[in-house]
Structure 1
Amino acid sequence: MAHLFSRAVLGFALALAAVAAQAQLVVEITRGQENAVPIAIVPFGWESQGAAPFDVAEVVAADLQRSGRFAPLDRRDMVDRPTAGDQIRFQDWRYLKSDFIAVGKVTPDGADRYAAQFELYNVLTGQRLTGQRLTANTRGMRAMAHRISDIIFEQLTGIPGAFSTRVAFISAEGTPPQQRYKLIVSDADGENQQIIANSTEPLMSPAWSPDGASLAYVSFESKASAIYVQTLATGERRRVSARAGINGAPAWSPDGRKLALTLSRKDGDVDVYTLDLASQVLTRMTFDPGIDTEPEWSTDGRKLYFNSDRAGSPQIYEVDPDLPNKATRVTFDGSYNARPRMSPDGKQMSVVYLDRGNYRIATIDLATKAVQVLSQGRQDESPSFAPNGATIIYATQDRGRGVLATVSIDGRVQQKLAASTGDVREPVWGPFPKKK
């Protein structure tokens, strides 16, 4: 079980923050889907004086390309720059072998306000598939572009796009004892980074609240582990668990009222508990003398999954929160299954799986128990599903540095997200943003 606790730490110095981070993530597509769909994202027109405030089409094309499912046409190969459907000469785009085309324009819509009108067409048939008008201020134009990407992605795949979502992760820069750790939140493409916590000692185990408004995480203030919940909009944080021994691995219940967490109490046993955040009532879930850790709620909140070495090697177990101490084993394939994380539909679980001597990311079908190994690294860890269930983000190693990576749930699309400086680790994908 040493792998599960390899990031044990000492000390913490928190710096409040919502400022831009320095370690920018660089996305590299390492494997794309064969026969990716060719699509043309034509630069949007700008109907006003001066330069356009933002290149919406550039972000949309980058999003779709990064998904691995689409192959956007290079702008240099475009024969025309239509901005509306009635300007498209479909035969020209058929010659370029584009299956779909998106056109649009941006117009001023008031003081520091802009509107983007876009349309998506099937090039072969000329059929208009969708189109919308969205508005944003200058700061919100990247988010607006991600929203357009989401709409196009869902229209063409039937899967909700996750380009408008966010990820949280830990960044470590420097070498001990001069290392600095940051808890960072960014857009799904690595842009718009914000430092949520900043420490000269390690930070661990970020976890999103179901509404995306807060993060729970582990810090080591006063030379002892503690779990904090921090509101992203205000930076306000509160310590919710600082009991003697281990305070680790927080996981939110689906209703946001409780945290499941790992504690070691007076007897030194490491077990899973639930903590009611309003009342601070603590309920013990596991009682085995083995190490029980890394809890995860089922999507309906009726089960808690966790990993335990009670059978001799790390495996996944489940327990009904209403019936503590009656855990049953879930995984039997392989000698090592750890860090369970649920898919949004509750049908699959991602785990860290020992595959021929390598720790890799795998999924387990909970109905059939079928295991599919998705990643190809030697030390892959910390899987987290995208809120649309189509992709898993995880941490891995690349030439001795910690990087993030993503893989589609069929294993066909893979990419790495490396920081420009330092290591990045422990990613967790946030929920869909609230609709306004």
Structure 2
Amino acid sequence: MKNRDNLWGRRLSVLIFVWISLLAVPAVGDELLIRITEGADSAIPISVVPFSESGQMPAEEKVSRIIQNDLQMSGEFDPLPPEQMLSLPSEGSDVFFRDWRLLGQRYVLVGQVSNAGGTLQAQYELYDVSQEKRLVGATASAPLSASRSLAHHISDRVYEAITGVPGAFSTRLAYVTLERLVSGPVYRLQVSDVDGKRARIRLESDEPILSPAWSPDGTKLAYVSFETGKPAIYVHELASGQRQRVADFSGLNSAPAWSDDGRSLLMTLSKDGNAEIYRMNLASGDLKRLTNHWSIDTEPTYDHTGQGFFFTSDRSGGPQIYHQASDDAAPRRITFGSRYNARPRTDSSGDYVYYVHQREGAFSIARTNLETGDETVLTRTESDESPSLSPNGRMLIYATKSGDGSVLTVISAEGGAAYSLPASRGEVRDPAWSPIVR
């Protein structure tokens, strides 16, 4: 408990740092290395038949292979290896359902990819094997350099056709890596695909970068940087690289969280002597104080209504999760299962709140059912932190200790199948999952 209590204190400390390097053009980052660590017993059998190809194809992974990997990493599908398939059809007229039933498959995806003058075009069809019915028949295209985007798009369509829930494979991850060099530590704010590919460095510094948070339109990141000699909150426009320091008050400036309309940020400030929750209008800079207590109030996040918010407070003697239904409502304590519950994150339906939970010396990710109050511990590792929920509510990413460093781990929101995303060098922490942008 002492180590985590020290971390709690460090997050609220004002430290002195001296240098930062900004990258005007995003540099290629360190791709995360996906490792499937656990499958789900109830995973749906699906066959992603290798797409036929015509014309010059990109040097990257094949589109159908990326789709297969996407579906597998969700934990909800069990793709059949191509070498076990009895045939390799590329269009619906060549699909013989009896063969796929013999293989125990519930769905089959077939398709064709062609290079038409530098544009990739994909025609694909998804079939329900038992009903012998086509569920999806569509065409999609992308520049030759964006074959991964094309594949993720098809994965999203397939996922939604089967589950009824929008896919999140076209979304992105933001995270911070730490490389410990002889000359000193190097922190990098990076953005990648959800499978860790196409990583790009957005900010590099020899001082800490913390708490990245996506704007609702997916175009900006808010985060905390120590480059001014103390923690300050920045808003960073990803397309242009331009950024603005929005909170640099005396004391603590931390834990930014966007409103649904992108016009304001929740944040923790101690400018008046104590750590409290404020809301800042980004256009005017106007502040409204939302909590008022002698305790530490921090780590705010909006609830599913966009009107109330969850936050961490030690007003009961140790860090616990509270909910405030509106600006002027009285906070209500949510967690009771242990003496340490912090870093709340809610789902879009308002059914659950997820958080870091301490019990018997271990720090895990847990969730509480907001209707019943029932608590479920979702992870089995001993030092987990920084949970972030996928925008479709089906997956949860968090940072966890691995050896002397840390990696990102993704699990189903029910606590089932998992995969890890270690950095190719150094540690990776503070993940944030982007919204779905149509």
Q: TM-score range by the shorter chain?
A: over 0.9
Aligned to 1:349: 353
Aligned to 2:383: 379
Aligned to 1:328: 332
Q: Please, which of 102, 106, 110 is the counterpart of residue 113 of structure 2?
A: 106
Aligned to 2:364: 360
| 1:213 equivalent in alignment to 2:224 | no
Checking the alignment, whether the CA contact within 8 Å between 2:354 and 2:367 is kept in structure 1 is yes
Aligned to 1:27: 34
The 1:162–1:322 alpha-carbon spacing in structure 2 relative to 1, beyond 3 Å, is same
The 1:108–1:22 alpha-carbon spacing in structure 2 relative to 1, beyond 3 Å, is closer
Q: Please, which of 242, 246, 255 is the counterpart of residue 236 of structure 1?
A: 242
Q: Please, which of 191, 208, 212 is the counterpart of residue 185 of structure 1?
A: 191
- Structure 1 residue 89, shift from structure 2 partner: 2.4
* Letter matched to residue 287 of structure 1: N
The unaligned stretches of length 5 or more in structure 1 are none
- Structure 1 residue 96, shift from structure 2 partner: 2.7
Instruction: Judge which range, 313-322 or 166-175, deviates more.
Output: 313-322
Checking the alignment, whether the CA contact within 8 Å between 2:73 and 2:418 is kept in structure 1 is no
Q: How far apart, in 2, do the equivalents of 1:306 and 1:52 lie? A: 46
SS at match of 1:288: coil
| 1:60 equivalent in alignment to 2:67 | yes
Q: How far apart, in 2, do the equivalents of 1:280 and 1:387 lie? A: 28
- Structure 1 residue 429, shift from structure 2 partner: 0.6
Map 1:11-410 onto structure 2 (within 5 A). 11=17, 12-48=19-55, 50-51=56-57, 55-109=62-116, 111-175=117-181, 178-267=184-273, 269-323=274-328, 326-410=330-414
Map 1:401-420 onto structure 2 (within 5 A). 401-420=405-424
The 1:291–1:88 alpha-carbon spacing in structure 2 relative to 1, beyond 3 Å, is same
SS at match of 2:305: coil
Instruction: Judge which range, 303-312 or 380-389, deviates more.
Output: 303-312
- Structure 1 residue 320, shift from structure 2 partner: 4.5
- Structure 1 residue 381, shift from structure 2 partner: 0.6
Runs of 4+ aligned structure 1 residues displaced above 3 Å come to: 5-10, 17-22, 50-54
User: How many residues are paired up?
Assistant: 430
SS at match of 1:313: coil
Checking the alignment, whether the CA contact within 8 Å between 1:29 and 1:68 is kept in structure 2 is no
Q: How far apart, in 1, do the equivalents of 2:156 and 2:275 lie? A: 42
The 1:37–1:20 alpha-carbon spacing in structure 2 relative to 1, beyond 3 Å, is farther
SS at match of 2:34: strand
Checking the alignment, whether the CA contact within 8 Å between 1:171 and 1:424 is kept in structure 2 is yes
* Letter matched to residue 22 of structure 2: A
Q: How far apart, in 1, do the equivalents of 2:183 and 2:233 lie? A: 23
- Structure 1 residue 426, shift from structure 2 partner: 0.5
Q: How far apart, in 2, do the equivalents of 1:286 and 1:67 lie? A: 38
Q: How far apart, in 1, do the equivalents of 2:142 and 2:7 lie? A: 45
* Letter matched to residue 285 of structure 2: Q
* Letter matched to residue 316 of structure 1: I
- Structure 1 residue 126, shift from structure 2 partner: 2.2
Checking the alignment, whether the CA contact within 8 Å between 1:344 and 1:385 is kept in structure 2 is no
- Structure 1 residue 174, shift from structure 2 partner: 1.6
The 1:176–1:310 alpha-carbon spacing in structure 2 relative to 1, beyond 3 Å, is farther
* Letter matched to residue 393 of structure 2: G
SS at match of 2:301: strand
* Letter matched to residue 402 of structure 1: S
Q: How far apart, in 1, do the equivalents of 2:194 and 2:163 lie? A: 19
- Structure 1 residue 77, shift from structure 2 partner: 2.1
What is the percent sequence identity of the aligned residues? 41
Q: How far apart, in 2, do the equivalents of 1:328 and 1:95 lie? A: 55
RMSD of aligned C-alpha atoms?
1.8
Checking the alignment, whether the CA contact within 8 Å between 2:312 and 2:322 is kept in structure 1 is yes
Q: How far apart, in 1, do the equivalents of 2:9 and 2:246 lie? A: 21
Instruction: Judge which range, 19-28 or 231-240, deviates more.
Output: 19-28
SS at match of 1:221: coil
Checking the alignment, whether the CA contact within 8 Å between 2:347 and 2:353 is kept in structure 1 is yes
TM-score w.r.t. structure 1 length?
Answer: 0.94
* Letter matched to residue 354 of structure 2: S
The unaligned stretches of length 5 or more in structure 2 are none
- Structure 1 residue 400, shift from structure 2 partner: 1.9
* Letter matched to residue 91 of structure 1: R
SS at match of 1:19: strand
